[in-house]
Amino acid sequence: MLKSSPQSLFRLAELRLRREDVGSTATWHLGDGGPKVLLVHGFRGDHHGLLGIAGALPEVRFTIPDLPGFGKTPGLESDHSLKNYGRWLADFSASSRGYDLILGHSFGSLVVSSALSQGLSVEKVALQNPITTRASESSSLANRLADRYYERGSKAGSNLLSSQLVVRGMSIALAKTKNPMLRRFIHRQHSSYFSVFESNQSVAEGYKAASTSSVLDFVEHLPKKLMAIAGDKDLVAPLGGQQKLAELAGADLRVIRGVGHLTHYERPSEVASHLSEFLVA
């Protein structure tokens, strides 16, 4: 495993990246040998966000698709519900002849959990900053503003969802690092990739799927070999929910201190270290 700055790990991964699509899904690959690991990114992102983790583990074969409707993958033919995202992932994994481990970050944790409930077969699952509380059940000002933002932005012709001002605000709120260079890197990443989506409709439907669901809805479908990776300052996926997941599903909970929801950007080497241990366990 390589230990370096997050920025360096992202650059190393980009140098090894190759695109080989699976059906209509835009898909990137790194590595030619070792265990096969599938990485599933979060809401509004694309494959770029998880490159730091892959960059830290050159001995692993990684596959990173863009979720339907985001990045370079066209949207689903049906609505972008969590059930349909899960069906897409189950089909994607089957067509790729399976994986030794699947990791889902944030909204990706919901997609993985939904796929497991629909027949996805994998021995080991890692859920990074998993969504264990429903934003739709919170009456906080932040959630009310988010609901209004996606409701207004969903209208055809609106540029609200791709607003760089809003994206920067989200990035500032999510980043916890005090390292100015790393903060600038995170902001550039969000500016470049957080507004690359097929349509306002796909984003609005994805938001609904993300905000009305919880990994805890799928506890009975989660495998026995389960790891949860959390940030102790995560406001999107609070630590209390991760602890409940560990209690109900028997997950091996790894808590990264001093970081929030952006463990994949701020501490990719620590996430990779936990994955490396999990792969050989």
One digit per residue, the tens of pLDDT, for the chain of length 281 reads 777 899 999 999 999 999 999 999 999 999 988 999 999 999 999 999 999 999 999 999 999 999 999 999 999 999 999 999 999 999 999 998 889 999 999 999 999 999 999 999 999 999 999 999 987 666 676 778 888 888 888 886 789 999 999 999 999 999 999 999 999 999 999 999 999 999 999 999 999 999 999 999 999 999 999 999 999 999 999 999 999 999 999 999 999 999 999 999 999 999 999 999 999 98
Residues 6+ apart with CB under 8 A from 173: none
Q: 3-class SS at 139? A: coil
Decide if 150 contacts 203 (C-beta within 8 A). Answer: yes
**CA–CA separation, 196 vs 157, rounded Å?**
15
**CA–CA separation, 105 vs 45, rounded Å?**
10
Tokens of 261: 């929801």
For the entire predicted model, the pTM comes to 0.96
**CA–CA separation, 64 vs 46, rounded Å?**
9
Residue 86, number of CB atoms within 10 A of its CB: 23
**CA–CA separation, 270 vs 254, rounded Å?**
10
Adjacent-strand bridge partners of 62: 30, 37
**CA–CA separation, 20 vs 102, rounded Å?**
19
| Residue from 122, 92, 111 nearest 218 by CA | 111
User: What strands lie across the sheet with 101-105, from one edge to the other?
Assistant: 18-19, 27-30, 61-65, 36-40, 101-105, 124-128, 225-231, 252-256
pLDDT value of residue 145: 82
Decide if 90 contacts 120 (C-beta within 8 A). Answer: yes
pLDDT value of residue 146: 85
